[in-house]
Structure 1
Amino acid sequence: MSDSTGFAGVRLGTAAGRAVVLAAVLGSGMTMLDGTVVNVALHTIGEELDASLAELQWVTNGYLLSLASFILLGGSLGDRFGRRRVFVVGTVWFAAASLLCGIAPTPGVLIAARVLQGIGAALLTPGSLAMIQGAFVPTDRAKAIGAWSGLGSIAAAIGPFVGGGLVQYASWRWIFLINLPLAVVTVVVAQRAVPETQDPNAPRRFDVLGAGLVALALGGLTYALIEWGSPLAPWALVVMALAAVGYVADERRSDHPMLPLGIFRDRTFTAANAMTLVVYAALGAVLFFLVLQLQTVSGYGALEAGLATLPITVCMLLLAAKGGELATRIGPRVPMTVGPLVMAAGTLLLVRVGADVNYWTDVLPGLTVFGLGLALMVAPLTATVLAAAPDEHAGIASGVNNAVARAGSLLAVAALPIAVGLMGDDYADPAVFDAAYQQATTICAVLLALGGVISWVTIRDPGV
């Protein structure tokens, strides 16, 4: 149990420390896995459920929408009622929604289940990082975050591999059903070994109205982007604008805001989140387009497409924790600048993926370079965001950064297909999709380079 300050004082090298990291990795890794594993199954889901491109976008974005909308509320609930407790509740919710995804008979039911799944993820995701921030002594937090980032990101990277195997040799439904045993293990480890921590100064009431307005704003914008050209798209933009204005007004007047706006007065916190928005927009779009390109244009099966992304897994496994250690020694500015630039270079190499693809010359180099940049960036970015916020707002700071990352992916997956001319069932037409892929990949490279520039201009190392 935590002391009166809300922190438990656990050391990383102890059994308790390893258990905290394990529980956090299992929980957040499950949501990361599900956030990426779906990409590899989209083609098959579209064929079996007779879904349009817009419906496939909603299968991805329904999850991201509810996750981004409610993740701040999830962080606040953890700070108030206990980070471990809310983490466990979120894990159970996520598992129940995964079951509904796995038995969904139509695209509409699957989309609804994905929205519910995102709410569960919004409860457990900020809790996973806040448990680390609250449990460990300050001197061990950076290393613990590095281990969490590396191991957790592996779950996101192996998503296409796991998904490919399940889709090709079992059914796409198993990419959701596999979450049930993972959730059981996560709950057992958390309940038995993780100390409970919370913010003793957390507000007694919660800004449910603020969370609802965020959902309306993001939902309106996402609908307008995906359904661009429909009669309802302009009205969705109106809803988005009104909800955004209402959210800012609500946060300013509320005595229990979901997001204390004063947290953005810290330049480093704001800059790191701006960089997160553009980098994770590109990251989400690259994975979305690449896996479809490999299946639709290059003729890969689901498992082959999943295996193709293995270099990212290897880079994250071997180097992500080292990225955190490097940032501890030299400061976060250089890793947060060079990482996205290296990812941009890798993305440009992936432009060559096409009908006559050679994995060893067209796919492997690009993904390896991309993975090296990601491994260099992830831990320093996370540690910088948390260090810039007061310790008592660990849940909120984690929630903000996660919400920004998911919102970036959400908007990119919604906007880029329209921007490059994809619609209807174009995802199944090799000639049309190939041309769109080239444009989308180039746009992603530009976004990643922009992320590196933002870091260089705005991030300052401690003591500078």
Structure 2
Amino acid sequence: MEQAQTASSIRIAALLVATLANFLTPFMSSAVNIALPVIGSEFASSAILLSWVPTSFLLAAAMFAVPFGRISDIYGMKKIFSYGIIIFTVASFLSAVAPSTESLIIFRILQGIGGAMIFVTGLAIITSVYPPQERGKAIGINIATVYIALSLGPVLGGIMTQYFGWRSLFYAMIPLGILILILTYWKLNDEWAECKGEKFDIKGSIFYSIVLVMVMYGFSTLPHITGIILVIGGIIGFIGFLMYELKLESPVLNVKLFKNRTFAFSNLAALINYSATFAVTFLLSLYLQYIKALDPLSAGLILVAQPVMMAIFAPIAGRLSDKFVPQKLAALGMALSTIGLFLFAFINAQTSIAFITVGLIIIGTGFGFFSSPNTNAIMGSVERKFYGVASAMVSTMRLLGQTFSMGLALMVFAIFIGNVQITTLQYPALLNSIHTVFLICTVLCFIGIFAALIKQKNKSSI
């Protein structure tokens, strides 16, 4: 007869499985971005159609994060996590054999659904098995994996695309997905379903998904009139969704969670942080390649400085958040990011590469100190039965923030540069755009410092 697993072995197994799974989606996203020109060349795709290859994944993941967070609380986190791995792995194979851009986009949507199931349950499982005094350390390790994946994505993705073709990126996900699935059933014998027997709110889930996509897609198309209409309609729809959810006994998103100041403001801080920092790589990539005339590889090696610092400091900050007030650590991280963003608001053609690298190091350190403690604060502010939904909110804030950040950058570009190809004539306008976006992001991040500091007056969680 097999000996029962000890609490320690379960924790280690859960962290291992969730951390490996946490590598999948960010690596795939960053690697696919590098491969887009090759994909576009093979399928003779238009730039707009090609842009849907990464966007379709992002939208699908955002749409399904909260519904699957709730489903995992009802039917079991391990079950939804496993199904997510299977869907992601199958979708990777289908993407690898895709015969056209349109079919690739469809398979990326499927991959996004699997991705949503993975990252909302992975964090929730870790939170379930680790006690509060050790949770920050585990969350820090888990989050560091995201930054390692983001660091390796452009480098390994570029090498694989160049020597083995873009389809190799998707093929590589298949053995990793199978390994995670085997480890899940071999090492994790427990199941976590704190809301077992409760009803699932199908209408609310559909309502939520529609208004979220309206806001995300609308913001990405600003300042066009279609984008304005979609964003306004989405915001009105979201207010209606919240009013609808308040009337239900078993809502997909328990609005009462936001009465907890820690949960509400830490989620707001996460949204602000991702909104202020996600476009940094995009902006500096253009700056380094256009203004500084660097080749893509050289630019990529410089930009790696930020995620490397994130990967180094996320576990450290996570461990510290077990001993100190996580909100103060998160605010410190936000303050460092504010300083780094402010420095970039004044770059010009003469700015040294050393200056750029220092700015990236500051932002990367700040993000590392922010993310783990802030996530620890969010997950520690709710009862066990809400872990799935809380984890889903963390993911949703990340996806929304990423979309808003890119939408902000593209909106400013549309105003300063217009819908034209960037040539030497547009370089002054490009610099003005970059300065404007970094100034706006600096203000956002500064506001985020105060959002990160706010916490519930009493220690009880919802």
TM score, norm. by length of structure 2: 0.86
Distance 2:288 2:38 in 1: 13
Question: In the alignment, what sits opposite 1:274?
Answer: 268
Which residue of structure 2 aligns with residue 183 of structure 1? 177
Which residue in 2 is equivalent to 1:119?
113
Pick from 204, 211, 233 the counterpart of residue 205 of structure 2: 211
Q: Which moved more, 1:393-402 or 1:247-256?
A: 247-256
Cα separation, 2, equivalents of 1:154 and 1:136: 23
* Residue 214 of structure 2 corresponds to residue 220 of structure 1: yes
Distance across 2 between alignment mates of 1:399 and 1:239? 23
Give 2:87's match in structure 1, choosing from 82, 93, 97.
93
- 2:136·2:322 contact (CA, 8 Å) conserved in 1? yes
The structure 2 residue matched to 1:414, chosen from 407, 429, 434, is: 407
Structure 2 residue 377 is matched with structure 1 residue 384: yes
CA–CA separation in structure 1 for the residues paired with 2:280 and 2:448: 15
- The CA RMSD measured in Å over matched residues stands at 3.1
Whether the 8 Å contact between 1:53 and 1:427 is mirrored in structure 2 is no
Unaligned runs of 5+ in 2: none
Amino acid at match of 2:366: G
Give CA-to-partner distance per residue, 1:77-110, whole Å, 9 cap, x none: 2222221121111112122223344444554444
User: How far off its partner does 1:272 sit?
Assistant: 0.1
Q: Distance in 1 between matches of 2:423 and 2:240?
A: 41
After TM superposition, the structure 1 stretch with the greater mean CA deviation from structure 2, 368-377 or 244-253, is 244-253
Q: 1:98 to 1:284 in 2, by over 3 A?
A: farther
Letter matched to residue 454 of structure 1: A
Are 2:80 and 2:121, in contact at CA under 8 Å, matched by a contact in 1? yes
Q: Give how far 1:355 is off.
A: 6.2
Matches within 5 A, 1:27-176: 27-42=21-36, 45=39, 54-55=48-49, 57-104=51-98, 106-176=100-170
Deviation at 1:385, TM superposition (A): 0.2
Residues 29-55 of structure 1 show CA distances to partners (whole Å, capped at 9, x for unaligned) of: 211223433444455556665656654
Residue 438 of structure 1 aligns with an amino acid whose one-letter code is: H
Per the TM alignment, residue 123 of structure 1 is displaced from its structure 2 partner at its CA by 0.7
1:459 aligns with 2:455: yes
- Match of 2:440, as an amino acid? I
Q: Distance in 1 between matches of 2:26 and 2:458?
A: 30
The verdict on how the C-alpha distance between 1:21 and 1:282 changes in structure 2, with shifts beyond 3 A counting, is: same
Distance in 1 of aligned mates of 2:391 and 2:84 = 15
Q: Please list every run of at least 4 consecutive aligned residues from structure 1 whose deviation after the TM superposition is greater than 6 angstroms.
A: 352-357, 427-430, 460-464
Shift of 1:242: 5.4
Structure 1 residues 45 and 452 mapped into 2: Cα distance closer, same or farther (>3 Å)?
farther
Q: Is contact 2:58-2:399 (8 Å) kept?
A: yes
Q: Aligned equivalents of 2:442 and 2:43: distance in 1?
A: 33
| CA distance, structure 2, for counterparts of residue 64 and residue 341 of structure 1 | 28
**Hey, what's the Cα distance between the residues in 2 that align with 1:278 and 1:36?**
21
**Could you tell me how far 1:222 is from its partner in structure 2?**
3.1
Kindly tell me the number of residue pairs found equivalent between the two proteins.
452
- Point out the more displaced range, 153-162 or 426-435: 426-435
Are 1:438 and 2:435 counterparts? Answer: yes
1:143-171 Cα offsets, whole Å, 9 max, x none, are 22222222333223333333333344443
Specify whether residues 241 and 148 from structure 1 end up closer, same or farther in structure 2 by C-alpha distance, changes over 3 A only: closer
Equivalent residue letter for 2:15: V
AA matched with 1:128: G
Shift of 1:278: 0.8
Return the letter of the residue paired with 1:26: L
Deviation, structure 1 residue 175:
3.5
Tell me if structure 2 keeps the 8 A contact 1:32–1:156: yes
Check conservation: 1:27, 1:124, Cα contact below 8 A: yes
- The 8 Å contact of residues 151 and 316 in structure 1, kept in 2 or not, is answered as no
Task: Please point out which of 341, 350, 368 is paired with 2:335.
Answer: 341
- Residue 275 of structure 1 aligns to a residue in which SS? helix
Secondary structure of the residue that 1:195 maps to in structure 2?
coil
1:370 pairs with 2:363: yes
Q: What is the CA-CA distance between 1:250 and the residue it aligns to?
A: 3.1
Q: Give the Å deviation of 1:324.
A: 1.6
Separation in structure 2 between the aligned mates of residue 462 and residue 250 of structure 1, nearest angstrom: 29
Deviation (angstroms), 1:368: 1.2
Instruction: Give deviations 1:59-81, integer Å, cap 9, x for gaps.
Output: 43322222122111111222222
Q: Tell me which moved more, 341-350 or 272-281.
A: 341-350
CA 1:305/1:175 → structure 2, altered by over 3 Å: closer, same or farther?
farther
What secondary structure is seen at the aligned counterpart in 1 of 2:278?
helix
Further displaced range: 337-346 or 122-131: 337-346
The range that moved more, 366-375 or 27-36, is 27-36
Q: d(CA) in 1 for partners of 2:438 and 2:95?
A: 30
Aligned CA distance change for structure 1 residues 238 and 442 (closer, same or farther; 3 Å):
closer
Q: 1:403 matched to which residue of 2? A: 396
Match of 1:4 in 2: none
Change beyond 3 A, Cα 1:80–1:9: farther
- CA deviation map 1:216-270 (0-9, x unaligned): 2122223333344667446534652553244224312333211111111101100
Tell me the distance in 2 between the aligned counterparts of 1:182 and 1:50. Answer: 31
Q: 1:463 to 1:132 in 2, by over 3 A?
A: closer
**Which of 16, 24, 32 does residue 18 from structure 2 map onto?**
24
Question: Letter of the aligned partner of 1:215 in structure 2?
Answer: S
Deviation at 1:172, TM superposition (A): 3.8
Give the TM-score of the pair, scaled to structure 1. Answer: 0.86
Query: Partners in 2 of 1:309 and 1:283 — Cα distance?
Result: 13
Q: In structure 2, do the counterparts of structure 1 residues 167 and 442 end up closer, same or farther at CA, with 3 Å as the change threshold?
A: farther
CA distance in 1: counterparts of 2:165 and 2:383, whole angstroms: 46
Relative to 1, partners in 2 of residues 1:178 and 1:354: Cα closer, same or farther, differing over 3 Å?
farther
CA displacement at 1:177 relative to structure 2: 3.4
Question: Corresponding residue for 2:387?
Answer: 394
Distance 1:441 1:49, change over 3 A: farther
What's the counterpart of residue 3 of structure 1? none
Q: 1:248 aligns with which of 236, 242, 252?
A: 242
| Cα distance between partner residues in 1 of 2:84 and 2:418 | 35
**Aligned amino acid, residue 416 of structure 1:** A
